[in-house]
């Protein structure tokens, strides 16, 4: 009896849904388990490349840095300082200069 009553309630519930919503089944989500591709590219070897590889690649891959337009030393200094001050990149103070020099040199040869 109780089971029958529940069935009736469910049917009434379905019947009260507007026709347009009945046309499509309820939206179903499926769990995801995926892998993102590797980012193993290093900065090309050169003066300061150890400093930039050691300090920068933990948070982001090298590729976007390597496709920046030519930027001045001042602009690169601001970028590196933004990473340290705003994004808390734990860059050793003695590495800041070599990183800026590396980036400035990298772009000036392009």
Partner 1 sequence: MPKKAALHHPITRRQLLAAASVGGLALSRPAWAERMIDLPLPGGPGARQVTTAFPQKGTMILQRTRPPLLETPFEVFDKGVFTPNDQFYVRWHWALIPTEIDIDKFTLTVRGHVNQPLSLSLNDILRGLPSVQLSAVNQCSGNSRGFFWPRVPGGQWANGAMGNALWTGVRLKDLLDRAGVKSGAVQVRFKGLDEPVVADAPHFMKSLDIDHARDGEVMIAYAMNGEQLPLVNGFPLRLVVPGWYATYWVKMLNDIEVLDQPDTNYWTKVAYTIPDTPHASIKPGETGVKMVPINKMVPRSFVTNIASGTKVEAAASTTLRGIAFGGDCGVASVDFSIDGGQRWHQGQLGKDEGKYGFRQWQAQLTLPAPGAYNLLTRCSNSNGVAQPDAPNWNPAGFMRNAIESVNVIAV
Smaller CB distance to partner 1: residue 11 or 42?
42
| Per-residue x/- track, 11-50, partner 1 (CB under 8 A) | ----------x----xx-xxxxxxxxxxxxxxxxx---xx
Short-list 55, 53, 31, CA closest to 43: 53
Helix (H) or strand (E) holding 85: helix 73-85
Minimum distance of partner 1 from residue 45's CB (angstroms) = 5
Site for partner 1 in 46-105 (CB under 8 A): 49-50, 53-54, 57-61, 63-64, 67-71, 75, 79, 86-90
| Cβ pair 95, 55 in contact under 8 A | yes
To partner 1, the closest distance from the beta carbon of 16 in angstroms equals 14
Residue with tokens 């990149």: 89
- Verify binding: residue 2, partner 1, rule CB under 8 A: no
Question: Judging by beta carbons within 10 Å of its beta carbon (0-12, 13-18, 19+), is residue 34 exposed, middle or buried?
Answer: exposed
Which residue bears the tokens 């529940």?
A: 6
Residues that bind partner 1 (CB under 8 A): 21, 26-27, 29-45, 49-50, 53-54, 57-61, 63-64, 67-71, 75, 79, 86-90, 110
């Amino acid at each position: 009896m109780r089971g029958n009553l529940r069935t009736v309630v469910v049917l009434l519930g379905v019947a009260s849904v507007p026709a347009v919503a009945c046309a499509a089944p309820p939206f179903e989500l499926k769990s995801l388990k995926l892998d993102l591709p590797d980012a193993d590219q290093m900065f090309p070897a050169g003066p300061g490349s150890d400093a930039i590889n050691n300090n920068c690649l933990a948070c982001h891959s090298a590729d976007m840095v390597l496709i920046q337009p030519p930027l001045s030393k001042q602009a690169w200094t601001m970028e590196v300082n933004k990473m340290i001050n705003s994004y808390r990149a734990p860059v050793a103070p003695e590495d800041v200069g070599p990183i800026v020099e590396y980036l400035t040199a990298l772009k000036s040869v392009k």
